[in-house]
Amino acid sequence: MSILLLIPIILPIVAGIYILKRNFTEKAEREKFVSTAVIINAVIVILLSIILRDQQLTLLQIIPNNPIAFKIDKLGAMFASMVGILWILCIYYSFEYMKHEGDENRFFGFYVMTFGVMMGITFSANLVTLYLFYEFLTLATIPLVMHGDTIQAKTATRIYIIFSIFGAALALCGIAMIAFAGNGSTAFAPGGILQGVVSGATIIQVAYVLAFFGFGVKSAVMPFHAWLPIAGVAPTPVSALLHAVAVVKAGVFAIARVTYFTIGPDVLRGTTAQYIVLGACIVTIVYGSAMALMSQHLKRRLAYSTVSQLSYILFGITLMSLEGYTGGMIHLFGHAIVKITLFLCAGAIIYKTGREYVWELKGIGKAMPITMGVFTVASFALVGIPPLPGFFSKWFLSKAVMSASGNLLGFIGLVALGISALLTAIYLFSICANAFIPGAGFDYEEANKDVSDPNRYMTVPLLVLAAAIILFGILVSPMISNLTL
């Protein structure tokens, strides 16, 4: 039965290659094939996450003690199910949005392939397998970043490649050192495989810092964050993919695996390595929020917001406690839903109006009530208004800091979270207020003539996401029970 674990990895890759080779000329035919492939794969992912939990498939033995192997544990099952559901919504949205971008066969080919690569990362049973698919992810997403084929897109792609190669080199060095310290193995196990083997050893601390910043390149940790805002030149469905579902979350997911399933938090707690990575997270949280506030380009503002919010997750992870891990993972899932919603709303605005700057959105709420209504719901969620996603993650992060008595950096981080929450409220609520309350004497008809919400291909995913954000509070309890190590 474990051989079935290969299906959600191989199926989208084969389907993506077929799309590229088939070169569909009929839009309806392509949409039918793409939607069928993605929906079937998402269903398979969810079913396998239930029936094959904790079963392992060993495929190839390339490196001693580190086979190419796959396994679904609790974290992987939750992450894979989330990715599958969000991928369906993104694909449906893209059918309409990509009409004005062109070269749809190439876009959907690589977009579908990336789904399979993400499943390879999610179902990896050790760091070597994860790293292999992590590199495949870079290769699969390069054509998506460069899709516009403009000077800006080519520049963004070059920067993305340079940062990715550098991060990959750091991560590989870290993995090799971890394998050396762990008798050759990098297998995943709750609590880590080095628990009781080493404690605070210099080689492990160096390995962790290298792995953290290596995988942290895709997680946009300072000073390796610059590629992410620049990559916003890609089509909005790609931006949503990069910022919410795939690339950046793959980096965070990898760091969680290294911290809690390979090395172990007890090995790292109280070490210099912990303080280094905690400090990087704290600086990134404040810096990203400040840059988002200063940015007037809508997608760039959301990109810098992602830079900040990703380090909320990493801050929780690097607190090296169960409460911190829980808070970080809740934010991982909550941020994925909220940020994909914000980017898809931004895409709807760009698609219908061509407007890309914050000051151009004055009074647009009346012309695009669904889009801006959903944007407002997502904004409240990201700020942390209860009972929406951001509230629960910040609650657990605060609880984790209070439990870590004597950790001065943890308390500094708590202050950073407060500053970031305030800045987030300013840079998001100002957009919502300007859209719905432009001021006395504002001429709605003149400012937004012929502007309206997009069709159902784009509005239905937005409404579904808004409902998911609202339902998050109801679902958070079973989610927490599944996040135990």
Token pair listed for 167: 């991060």
Per-residue pLDDT averaged across 206-224, rounded?
A: 94
Contacts of 216 (CB under 8 A, 6+ apart): 167, 224, 251, 255, 280, 314
Q: Does residue 26 lie in a domain region?
A: no
Render pLDDT for 38-51 as a digit per residue (tens, 0 to 9): 999 999 999 999 99
Do the domain assignments include residue 315?
A: yes
Tell me if residue 333 falls in helix, strand or coil: helix
For residues 392 and 57, what is the distance between their CA atoms, to the nearest angstrom? 35
**According to the model, what pLDDT value does residue 197 have?**
63
Q: CA-to-CA distance for 282 and 22, rounded, in angstroms? A: 48
**What is the model's pTM?**
0.93
pLDDT the model gives residue 303: 92
| In a domain? residue 5 | no
Q: How much is the mean pLDDT over the chain?
A: 89
> Is 304 part of any domain?
yes
343-to-211, 415, 441, 461 alpha-carbon distances in Å? 29, 27, 30, 12
Give percent of the chain with pLDDT exceeding 70.
Answer: 98
The predicted structure's pLDDT at residue 405: 63
pLDDT at 482: 78
Q: Look at residue 243 and tell me if it is in a domain.
A: no
**Average pLDDT of the residues in 348-373:** 91
- Sorted by sequence, the CB contacts under 8 Å of residue 460 that are 6+ apart come out as 92
Q: How many domains does the chain have?
A: 1
**Could you tell me whether strands 56-63 and 66-71 are parallel, antiparallel, or unpaired per DSSP bridges?**
antiparallel
- Would 147 be classed as within a structural domain? no
317/468 Cα distance (integer angstroms): 25
Alpha-carbon distance of 14 to 404, in angstroms, equals 48
Domain that holds residue 461: 269-485
Residue 227 in any domain: the answer is no
Cα end-to-end span (Å), the chain: 25
In a domain, 203, yes or no: no
Q: What is the pLDDT of residues 86-132, one digit of tens each?
A: 999 999 998 988 887 777 888 899 999 999 999 999 999 999 999 99
Contacting residues for 321 by C-beta, under 8 A, at least 6 apart: 265, 269, 400, 403, 404
Check whether 479 has a pLDDT greater than 90: no
Q: What is the pLDDT of residues 456-475, one digit of tens each?
A: 999 999 999 999 999 988 88
